[in-house]
Structure formats: structure tokens, C-alpha cells
Amino acid sequence: MRKLDQWSRIIATGFCFTVFGLGGLLLSFIVIPIIQLTSPKSMHREYRVQAVIQLSFHGFCRLMKYTRAIDYKISGADILKQDRNCLVVANHPSLIDYVLIASQLKRCDCLVKASLWSNPFIKHIVKAAGYIPNKAPDDLLDICEQRFEQGNVLLLFPEGTRTTPGVESKIQRGAAQIAVRTGRDLRIVHISVSQSFLTKQAKWYQVPEKRPFFHIEVKDKVEVAPIIKQTTSSTIAARRVQQHLTSRLFPQ
């Protein structure tokens, strides 16, 4: 029975990602062009695309749960939905972390891999949504500041890539630098997975023996103003914020 359940989840996972791919094509070549034609203002257009992404991701998460590919619980979703003008940072154990978090955020900017901007299917979506490439443009902080002033949240994963099971996780300094230099607080989101699934090293069909359970916990905010006041430079402040993020995202 366990093997039968495992095979059924392989089929369910393949089905879900097929739906995901078809949904990406639908958004790229039908939905987004319609939004672009009917929304002359760029900011309004980006908000509409982000709202469509949120609805699509919410439906995809429900599909994965309904087909028993995964199970998940989001603790503190109401708090996350009310956040404005801050960074949302999370650990990154699997491929669908972004999908699970963004499914709760109607308006959400995201720092994404620059490689996605050359992907023929994804580039139309990330560009239309106004996402920010992580290739560190000279005006990155200005772009982030502008989005914060609009009341947006910026979702990013400080590790820069998915966590490798059994390897100590390390975070990059980008999130801390943005927080310190823009003076914005960071909302911590911790993701735990009962079974290793959809990691960077594993294929989509390598499902665990038991259905993986994702628990997304919305934690407290890290306030950067007190840290900045206690230090003599933005570099030291960013280092302390990074240390605090490490202890919160990867508790012993």
C-alpha cells in the first residue's frame, strides 16, 4: 500500500506540474496581453498581474493538496496579508516555497533570478509583474525604495538558492543590506518540511515514501531601526541583521 501511495503521488506531482506549465503559457500569451491592453498605467498593470499570480498560485497549492501530492498549513497568513512597506524573508527548502508564500499575497514584489528573464515562458510573467532581477543593478536600492513607498512588500530568499539537505545553510547579505539601507523591517517566514521534497538535487518524480507536509509559519518582524542606532556604520548594521536572520531562519 505504501508503494501504491508513492506511485500515486508521482503521478499527482507530474499532473500538477503539467497544469503549472500550461497555466504559465495561458498567463504569458493570453491573460497578460489582455491586461496590458486594458491597463494603460504600468503600476496598475503590475498590480493586476500580481493579483492574477496570487490567485493562480492559490489554486495550484489547493490542487497539490487535493491530489495528495503534498499537504501544507500556513500559520499566520492573516498577519502576512496585512504587511506593507517591508521585506518578507524565508528559508528555501523546496522548489514551491515561493508559490506557497506568494499564494497569500495579492500584491508582492519579488527579487528573482536573472536567468528567468531569458526563459521564453517565464520572462513574460516576471516582467509584467514588475519583479526585480537579482543581478544587482546600480539602481536596485532605488527600485526597492520606490516599491516600499507604494506600500508593497518585497519577497526574497536570503540563501539565494534552495537549501541542500545535510549541509549547513548560509545566507547572503543582500536582504540585510536592502533592509538597512532602506530602513525597512523584515518579516520572518519559516518553512519546515516533514520529508525532503523538490530540493535542488532531486528530480520532481523522486517523491518520499510519505506525503510531505509543509508548515509555513509567519514569525515576528525584525526591526532594523534599533540595530542601526546601536552601530556606527551601515556595514556593521547589515552584518548584525544578517546574524539575526540566520538565527531566526535556521533555529538550532
CATH assignment of the domain containing 53 = 3.40.1130
Question: How many domains does the chain contain in total?
Answer: 1
Query: What is the model's pLDDT at position 252?
Result: 67
Structural domain containing residue 35: 2-249
pLDDT tens column, 49-87: 999 999 999 999 999 999 999 999 999 999 999 999 999
pLDDT tens column, 194-234: 999 999 888 999 999 999 999 999 999 999 999 999 998 99
pTM of the model: 0.93
Three-state secondary structure of the chain: CHHHHHHHHHHHHHHHHHHHHHHHHHHHHHHHHHHHHHCCCHHHHHHHHHHHHHHHHHHHHHHHHHCCCCEEEEECHHHHHHCCCEEEEECCCCCCHHHHHHCCCCCCEEEECHHHHHCCCCHHHHHHCCCEECCCCCCHHHHHHHHHHCCCEEEECCCCCCCCCCCCCCCCCHHHHHHHHHCCCEEEEEEEECCCCCCCCCCCCCCCCCCCEEEEEEEEEECHHHHHHCCCCHHHHHHHHHHHHHHHHCCC
